[in-house]
Structure 1
Amino acid sequence: MKKLFSFLLLAFMVVNLAHAQQDPQALKILNQMSQKYKSMNAFKATFTQTLENPSAKVKETMQGDILVSGPKYRLAVSGQEIINDGKLMWTYLKDVNEVTITENDAEAESMSPSKIFDMYKKGYKYALAGTEKQGAETVDVIELAPEDRSNPIFKVRLYISQKDKTLKSWQMFRNNGNRYTYSINNFVANPTLASDTFSFNKAKYKGVSVVDLR
């Protein structure tokens, strides 16, 4: 009964957020964050990703690296590399030494690392949920709910630094009970980029098998 009550309370909160008017204070903070990242030519960061599903007693943590420049990004996590130049996407699996090439799907990539800072602008309701401490920093907590009820993600929570408007961490809540938390550990603005940063250089992966699905 207690679990049922908690579930109904959570559902009520989510429905309220989905039907609420857009929060002007939340919009101001989100716009400041978005502008912060748009002012950078690129950025790189190391992060911790945690997957939790309490009902399934699952908790997994992994480390990753991300490099972003506009719509382009390069992500490395758990033996996998994903490279996206805005047109093509390469997914490399280290354990089988195989890369799959596909065309970039803008819709499927709506939650990509390059779009997390602008996702609120289309298809989401948002509200300022409060403030809290993360380490020595005070962060604003913004909650977003998709307008499309068929979206497998029913809530996104952003933790934005009050000091410099950078995104310190974020959470994604899925309908299957999975909760993903991404925490930024180290952040570097405007790093120097090699010319082939956002392309897959086959010569650097000896014996790699290529699966071209374009």
Structure 2
Amino acid sequence: MFKKQLLLLGAFFLSVTAFGQNADKAKALLDEVYKKVNSYDNIQVDFKYALDNSETKTHQETRGDVTMSGDKYLFNLFGAQQLYDGKKVYTIIPENEEVIIEDYTEEENTVTPSKMLTFYKSGHRYSWDIEQKTDGRMIQYVKLIPIDSKSEIKSILLGIDVQTKNIYKLIETGKNGTKTTITVNSLKTNQPLSKSLFTFDEAKYENQGYYIVRN
């Protein structure tokens, strides 16, 4: 469940090889976003997640949030939670009363929220796209297309707030016609965080009767 969503959120920080007209403008804008994000000690993002497919008449909508500091993150979506403490990944599923503990592995083309909102992983081409006024703000879109022809993704549109240089929206279109949209409801930076926020308390879940799975 989480892997697909982490890959999608990772589109917030994809980097790429430019193509087409105005590619230099697109790269310059992404560079500004990258520089700004790298200046933060931590980031808290609350977002809306929507999935639509007109052919299958599918519509799914929910909200999620992620808190990131360095490589560490705490990610909530679909009623479950994932925590990365810098060494291990903990996926907590209350519905199943289960915790999955895994070593972190840097797989190719795999991304995590700890890299969210940066733009420097290879694998895509990009170009300057449309500019839209949304909720009183100007949003400039950059289009990303996977270089890998076998990718299930047709294209990704990243909407960047022209004034703040923060990501506002991501629209991923799959080759199967599925469109997934992530809209940032709020983005806070350099917040006071609890020292234990990225610490997994195994005894807490054992006492609640959770099944602990170690992979």
For Structure 1 versus Structure 2, the TM-score category normalised by the shorter chain is 0.7 to 0.9
1:209 aligns with 2:202: no
Equivalent position of 2:33 in the other structure = 33
Amino acid at match of 2:210: V
Q: 2:154 touches 2:174 (CA, 8 Å); kept in 1?
A: yes
Normalization by structure 2: what TM-score?
0.83
Structure 1 range deviating more: 167-176 or 141-150: 167-176
Equivalent position of 1:6 in the other structure = none
Question: What is the identity percentage for the equivalent residue pairs of Structure 1 and Structure 2?
Answer: 27
Q: Gaps (5+ residues) in structure 1?
A: 1-16
Q: Deviations over 1:79-123 (max 9, x none)?
A: 110112343211111101101111223236634323342345411
Deviation at 1:196, TM superposition (A): 2.6
Equivalent position of 2:189 in the other structure = 189
Q: Deviations over 1:39-67 (max 9, x none)?
A: 00101121110011111110110011110
CA distance in 2: counterparts of 1:109 and 1:99, whole angstroms: 25
Q: 2:34 touches 2:119 (CA, 8 Å); kept in 1?
A: no
Please list, as runs of the form range in 1=range in 2, the aligned pairs for 1:54-69 lying within 5 A after superposition: 54-69=54-69
Structure 1 range deviating more: 86-95 or 58-67: 86-95
Deviation at 1:135, TM superposition (A): 0.7
Q: 2:89 touches 2:104 (CA, 8 Å); kept in 1?
A: yes
Equivalent position of 1:8 in the other structure = none
Equivalent position of 1:12 in the other structure = none
Structure 1 range deviating more: 161-170 or 189-198: 189-198
Normalization by structure 1: what TM-score?
0.83
Equivalent position of 1:84 in the other structure = 84
CA distance in 1: counterparts of 2:39 and 2:26, whole angstroms: 20
Which fold has the larger relative contact order, with Cα–Cα distance below 8 Å and residues 6 or more apart in sequence? 2
Alignment RMSD (CA, Å)? 2.2
Structure 1 range deviating more: 149-158 or 182-191: 149-158
Question: Would the alpha carbon gap of residues 35 and 151 (structure 1) be closer, same or farther in structure 2, given more than 3 Å must change?
Answer: same
**Divergent runs of 4+, >4 A:** none
How many aligned residue pairs are there? 197
Q: Gaps (5+ residues) in structure 2?
A: 1-16
CA distance in 1: counterparts of 2:52 and 2:161, whole angstroms: 24
Question: Would the alpha carbon gap of residues 160 and 152 (structure 1) be closer, same or farther in structure 2, given more than 3 Å must change?
Answer: same
Please list, as runs of the form range in 1=range in 2, the aligned pairs for 1:117-132 lying within 5 A after superposition: 117-132=117-132
Amino acid at match of 2:148: D
> 2:55 aligns to what SS in structure 1?
helix
Amino acid at match of 2:45: A
Q: 2:145 touches 2:156 (CA, 8 Å); kept in 1?
A: yes
Equivalent position of 2:3 in the other structure = none
Q: 2:45 touches 2:185 (CA, 8 Å); kept in 1?
A: yes
Deviation at 1:165, TM superposition (A): 0.2
Please list, as runs of the form range in 1=range in 2, the aligned pairs for 1:1-214 lying within 5 A after superposition: 20=20, 23-107=23-107, 110-205=110-205, 206-213=208-215
CA distance in 1: counterparts of 2:42 and 2:122, whole angstroms: 23
Question: Would the alpha carbon gap of residues 160 and 171 (structure 1) be closer, same or farther in structure 2, given more than 3 Å must change?
Answer: same
Q: 2:18 touches 2:27 (CA, 8 Å); kept in 1?
A: no
CA distance in 2: counterparts of 1:26 and 1:148, whole angstroms: 20
CA distance in 1: counterparts of 2:62 and 2:77, whole angstroms: 7
> 2:209 aligns to what SS in structure 1?
coil
Q: 2:65 touches 2:75 (CA, 8 Å); kept in 1?
A: yes
CA distance in 2: counterparts of 1:171 and 1:47, whole angstroms: 13
Q: 1:22 touches 1:126 (CA, 8 Å); kept in 2?
A: no
Amino acid at match of 1:78: F
Amino acid at match of 2:170: W
Amino acid at match of 2:24: P
